[in-house]
Amino acid sequence: MKIINGKEISEKIRQELKQQVEELTKQNGKVPGLATILVGEDPASQIYINSKIKACNQIGIKSFHNTLPANSTKEEIINLIHKLNNDENVNGILLQLPLPEGLNPDKCIEAILPSKDVDGLHPYNAGMLTLVKSWQAIIEQKLLVSCTPMGVIYLLKYSNIDIKGKNAVVIGRSNLVGKPVSMLMLANNATVTMAHSATKNLQDITKRADIVICAIGKANMINKDFIKDGATVIDVGTSKIDGKLCGDVDFESVKDMNINITPVPGGVGPMTITMLLHNTVLAFQRQ
């Protein structure tokens, strides 16, 4: 087994981004800026926001944090978003999800300018991803793509795992991970199969795959019987069992196999915030 170390790759990319930010700041006399919005006081969301602010400081991005009470209305959230849309110091806007119960995030996300949508969730950006034909076009157009799927691709590329012509199975069809990561794999010339809860003979399908991306959120569902020798397994899932974080893949079951695999924690997770920084720099360049 070869571990794909998300922490190490993430740190390498952050160092590259730090140099990029320094150069952009010298050229433009302006610093890239990321605005975060936290509605309510959810402890997990506060931890995520603090991690993002810390990461911004690490590479020289200016962070603007905004908090709203849990009883805020959709209109109040959208008013704040409009204010940030019009702020020239803000290049990226991130609305921390989930919102408090009773608040639908869709209209709030749609209020964010697509050019500042560093989460890549705006319908415009999601739509653009389905229209591009190649990875080169994604890079050239500086598309803002959902952070976790983008992190998956960078994990593969920085690990020198070839995607072109490979059979890839994506387990999960969410708008956040499954669909966009499938589009990104297609853009990198993989042959992609999307599997989900209604897929029959899942084990037979994944057993033929060169690359398996697990994003279903069912702890330890994928074991050695699903994976072929020599495959690469990217585990996006996060679940807690007895207070311990684990992924969709039964790590103990596959640990003696000849495969490449991301651990949970320490695999895809660190890449998500790094891709948020990456998108903020892209947004700054575009603007």
Q: Active site includes 87?
A: no
pLDDT tens column, 144-177: 999 999 999 999 999 999 999 999 999 999 999 9
pLDDT tens column, 172-207: 999 999 999 999 999 999 999 999 989 999 999 999
Q: Active site includes 204?
A: no
Whether residues 156 and 243 fall in one domain: yes
pTM of this prediction? 0.95
pLDDT of residue 197: 87
Whether residues 91 and 183 fall in one domain: no
Residue 232 lies in a domain: yes
pLDDT of residue 207: 97
Over residues 97-116, the mean pLDDT reads: 96
CATH of the domain at 41: 3.40.50.10860
Residue 139 lies in a domain: yes
* Catalytic-labelled residue, pool 20, 116, 117, 119: 119
Residue 13 lies in a domain: no
Whether residues 202 and 102 fall in one domain: no
CATH of the domain at 231: 3.40.50.720
* Structural domain of 56: 29-114
Residue 108 lies in a domain: yes
Q: How does the average pLDDT of the chain come out, rounded?
A: 96
Whether residues 252 and 221 fall in one domain: yes
At 134, is the pLDDT very low, low, confident or very high (cuts 50, 70, 90)?
A: very high
* Catalytic-labelled residue, pool 20, 52, 116, 117: 52
Q: Per residue, what are the HEC states of the chain?
A: CEECCHHHHHHHHHHHHHHHHHHHHHHHCCCCEEEEEEECCCHHHHHHHHHHHHHHHHHCCEEEEEEECCCCCHHHHHHHHHHHHCCCCCCEEEECCCCCCCCCHHHHHHHCCHHHECCCCCHHHHHHHHHCCCHHHHHHCCCCCCHHHHHHHHHHHHCCCCCCCCEEEEECCCCCCHHHHHHHHHHCCCEEEEECCCCCCHHHHHHCCCEEEECCCCCCCECHHHCCCCCEEEECCCEEECCEEECCECHHHHCCCCCEECCCCCCCHHHHHHHHHHHHHHHHHHC
Whether residues 139 and 93 fall in one domain: no
* Catalytic-labelled residue, pool 20, 62, 96, 179: 96
Q: Active site includes 30?
A: no
Residue 16 lies in a domain: no
pLDDT of residue 119: 96
Whether residues 154 and 263 fall in one domain: yes
Over residues 13-34, the mean pLDDT reads: 97
Is 90 exceeded by the pLDDT of residue 44?
Answer: no
